[in-house]
Chain A
Amino acid sequence: MSQEVGVEEVAEAMFDLVKQTHGKKNLKPMDLIKAMIQKFGDDRCSKPLCKKAIRELIDGGRCIYSYIGGSYVTLPPEE
């Protein structure tokens, strides 16, 4: 079995995806999880790992949860 990818690497890839889609498409946590599993492969990336990565992005303040009809992971508003 391949070695599992690190939380930081997944978080970084998620952050890049949120940045790329900012203003074009809102992403739900599950959208991010599916994208990461597709990117890294399900042998290296799991749902629990992705949840940890989302938590790291949110707790670190790089992303926030926003409510726009449903709950999404987005960039924080610009000051």
Chain B
Amino acid sequence: MSQKERKTPLVDELEKGPWPSFVKEIKSVDNPKAKDLLGVLERSYQDKIGHWKHGGLVGVMGYGGGVIGRYNDLPDEYPNVAEFHTLRVNQPSGWFYTSDVLRKLCDIWEEHGSGITNMHGSTGDIIFLGCSTEELEPTFAALTELGFDLGGSGSCMRTPSCCAGMARCEWACYDTMGLTHDLTMEYQDELHRPPFPYKFKFKMAGCPNDCVASVARADLSIIGTWRDEIQIDQEAVREYANSSELNVLEDVVERCPTGCMRYNGQLEIDDENCVKCMHCINVMPKALAPGKERGATILIGSKAPIIGGALLSSVLVPFLEMEPPYEDLKELIEAIWDLWAEHGKNRERVGEFIQRVGLGNFCDEIGLDVAPEMVIQPRTNPYIFYEMDTADY
């Protein structure tokens, strides 16, 4: 059946309505790949299965990541998407671009690929959808000429990603973009040459709001925090109290998860019992701010449900100063990688590895001293079983 004759009634249903439609977008692409892509999708809707398979031997010379092989299982019917590989392109920290560079990226993709992108993917990378095997190297060459590189895939360190941090947000407790850039540069080998049992993700969040959801999605979550007192502008608190927009007692004090606040014309916070939930700071941004002694909490082990079920991160280091060149952090990262790479099973994420060996043993092996703040979530018992000689706290 020719391209023009192919009907896609099921897919067409998703074009209706006032909202943006991916079908409308794909139909607007002047490329035979786009037509076959919709054809495969229509067929998938009819058959109620996805007609795609992934993996294999595709990539660019020297790299073990950045290309995810995609093939459809009906290549005779949809030859233009017989190979429809995904390219992950390493995004700049915080996803900052000029409109000029975006145009150039799109020009590259229109010349070499399908012209379809779902940037950004959930990994954070720029995602180019639909490259044939023979166009992988030319696309890669054009990207590198523009100053871009491929990101991570497979059993690599995945492309580190972060919130916009100090570039856009007043709550950032450390320079998330600086750290992301630094780790990306430092660990190029781990990004492009898969050394691990399975993927390893970093996500840098500037404050406990964790806008990049690192606590749920990163093998190593680096979340900004502070260890002194929340900064309070009492006059600004009273302005909130006197306004009709906010009831300080009901909306702030009584919603504190640990009940560590009181207000009687003067806001008092028992900072030792604050769990950094950010609620009070978020609702009274003119009156409250994170403390001045800032750094990050390092958490380990979260992952999405693939294979062993979803995990959230657990606290590994309660507080670490985050200043370049980040030597303490890198020492910790490399100790984790050494242990997990050597003893992890195939396709075992570091969080699953920790579940298997025990977090106490894991900390012992990487040479990390125990601390009572090592908890899975606030107000729970530490996961460390303290021996008498370590129970000095």
Contacts and interface: CB of A to CB of B under 8 A. Distances in A.
Interface of A: 28-30, 34, 47, 51, 54-55, 58-59, 61, 64-71, 74, 76-77
A67 B68 CA distance: 9
Contacts of A29: 193-195
B263 interface: no
Nearest to B154: A71
B57 interface: yes
B64 A70 contact: no
B57 A66 contact: yes
Contacts of B198: 70
Contact of A68 (B55, B65, B341): B55
Given A64-B57, A67-B69, A54 B197 contact: no
A48 B62 CA distance: 17
B347 interface: yes
Interface of B: 55-57, 59, 61-65, 68-69, 153-156, 189, 193-198, 338, 341-342, 346-347
A65 B153 CA distance: 11
A18 to B, nearest CB: 14
A28 B344 CA distance: 12
A25 B59 CA distance: 21
Given A65-B154, A66-B57, A71 B62 contact: no
A28 B346 contact: yes
Contact of A77 (B57, B65, B193, B347): B57
9 contacts: A29-B194, A29-B195, A47-B338, A54-B193, A61-B61, A67-B56, A69-B55, A70-B197, A71-B154
Contacts of A66: 56-57
Contact of B154 (A54, A67, A77): A67
A69 B156 CA distance: 13
Contacts of A76: 57
Given A28-B155, A70-B155, A58 B193 contact: yes
B342 A30 contact: yes
A65 B63 contact: yes
A70 B61 contact: no
B52 to A, nearest CB: 15
A52 to B, nearest CB: 10
Contacts of A58: 62, 64, 193
B189 A51 contact: yes
Main secondary structure of the interface of A (DSSP, over half): mixed
A30 B195 contact: yes
Nearest to A68: B55
A70 to B, nearest CB: 5
Contacts of B153: 67
Given A59-B62, A61-B61, A64-B59, A70 B347 contact: yes
Contacts of A77: 57
Contacts of A68: 55-56
B340 to A, nearest CB: 10
A55 B61 CA distance: 11
Contacts of A59: 61-62
10 nearest interchain CB pairs? A65-B64, A71-B194, A71-B155, A71-B154, A67-B55, A66-B57, A67-B154, A59-B62, A70-B155, A70-B346
A30 B55 CA distance: 20
A58 B194 CA distance: 12
Given A28-B194, A71-B65, 8 more contacts: A29-B195, A54-B193, A65-B65, A65-B154, A65-B193, A65-B194, A69-B346, A70-B155
Nearest to A54: B193
Nearest to B343: A30
Contacts of A34: 342
B144 to A, nearest CB: 16
A69 B307 CA distance: 11
Contacts of B156: 71
Most B-side CB within 10 Å, residue of A54, A66, A70 = A70
Contacts of B62: 58-59
A54 B68 CA distance: 21
